[in-house]
C-alpha cells in the first residue's frame, strides 16, 4: 500500500467522486463490511461501479429509480470472483456508512474504511472473496495500527435500524478464525 496516495498496489482503481477529507486528526480505527448486489441478488455487472461513480442509469432497472439521487461510495469492493476494486483512497472519507454509531461515536465514515462484498444477506459469499478479504484486512492492520480484529464490524452493527448487511450468510467465525491464525 502506498501511504502517500492511500491506494493499494496491484488493484484496479475506479475513481468515485463520493468522498471528501476526513476530519483533522482523525484516526482510522474501524473496518466496516458491507454486502451489495445490483440489481438485488444479481452479480457480475457494472452497476455497483456505476452507482459509486454516479453514472447508474435509473431507466435500466426498476430498482435503480430508488437509487437516483444516492451519492455513495466505498473504499474497496471485492467482487464474487475475488477481484478487488478501489474507489476511494484510504486516507479520504468514503460515503459508505451513512447515519451510524460505534461505541458511542457517531459518523463512522470519519474514522472507518468501508469494504463492500458483492453479495446479499441470504446467499453465502464466495471462498475467493474471503481469501481476498483476509489478505486486505491483514495489509490494512499493518498500515493502520489502530485496526484490529475486534474493530471489524458489519454495516448492520453500526446502523442496526437501517441496515442488515453483510447479513446472516457472512461467515464471521471463519473471518475471525483466519485472522487469529495468521
For the chain, domain boundaries: 12-181
Model pLDDT, residue 4: 87
Please tell me the pTM assigned to this model: 0.97
Model pLDDT, residue 103: 96
Q: Which residues contact 1 (CB under 8 A, 6 or more apart)?
A: 7, 8, 9, 90, 139, 140, 143
Closest CA to 76 of 126, 135, 21: 135
Homologous superfamily of domain range 12-181: Peptidoglycan recognition protein-like (3.40.80.10)
Catalytic residue numbers?
A: 116
Q: Cβ(37)–Cβ(123) under 8 Å?
A: no
Pairing of strands 92-94, 19-21: antiparallel
Model pLDDT, residue 32: 98
Q: What is the pLDDT of residues 52-103, one digit of tens each?
A: 999 999 999 999 999 999 999 999 999 999 999 999 999 999 999 999 999 9
Q: Which residues contact 95 (CB under 8 A, 6 or more apart)?
A: 18, 19, 71, 72, 73, 109
Beta bridge partners of 36: 118
Q: What is the pLDDT of residues 146-174, one digit of tens each?
A: 999 999 999 999 999 999 999 999 999 99
Kindly indicate the confidence band of residue 139, based on its pLDDT and cuts at 50, 70 and 90. Answer: very high
Amino acid at each position: 500500500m502506498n501511504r502517500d496516495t492511500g491506494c493499494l498496489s496491484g488493484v484496479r482503481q475506479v475513481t468515485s467522486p463520493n468522498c471528501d477529507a476526513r476530519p483533522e486528526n482523525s484516526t482510522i480505527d474501524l473496518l466496516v463490511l458491507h454486502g451489495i448486489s445490483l440489481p438485488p441478488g444479481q452479480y457480475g455487472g457494472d452497476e455497483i461501479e456505476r452507482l459509486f461513480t454516479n453514472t447508474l442509469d435509473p431507466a435500466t432497472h426498476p430498482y435503480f429509480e430508488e437509487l437516483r439521487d444516492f451519492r455513495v461510495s466505498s473504499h474497496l469492493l471485492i467482487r464474487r470472483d475475488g477481484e478487488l476494486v478501489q474507489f476511494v483512497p484510504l486516507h479520504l472519507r468514503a460515503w459508505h456508512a451513512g447515519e451510524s454509531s460505534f461505541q458511542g461515536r457517531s459518523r463512522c465514515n470519519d474514522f472507518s474504511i468501508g469494504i463492500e462484498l458483492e453479495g446479499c444477506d441470504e446467499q453465502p459469499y464466495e471462498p475467493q472473496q474471503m481469501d481476498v478479504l483476509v489478505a486486505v484486512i491483514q495489509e490494512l492492520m499493518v498500515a493502520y495500527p489502530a485496526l484490529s480484529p475486534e474493530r471489524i464490524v458489519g454495516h448492520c452493527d453500526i446502523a442496526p435500524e437501517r441496515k442488515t448487511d453483510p447479513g446472516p450468510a457472512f461467515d464471521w467465525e471463519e473471518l475471525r478464525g483466519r485472522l487469529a491464525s495468521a
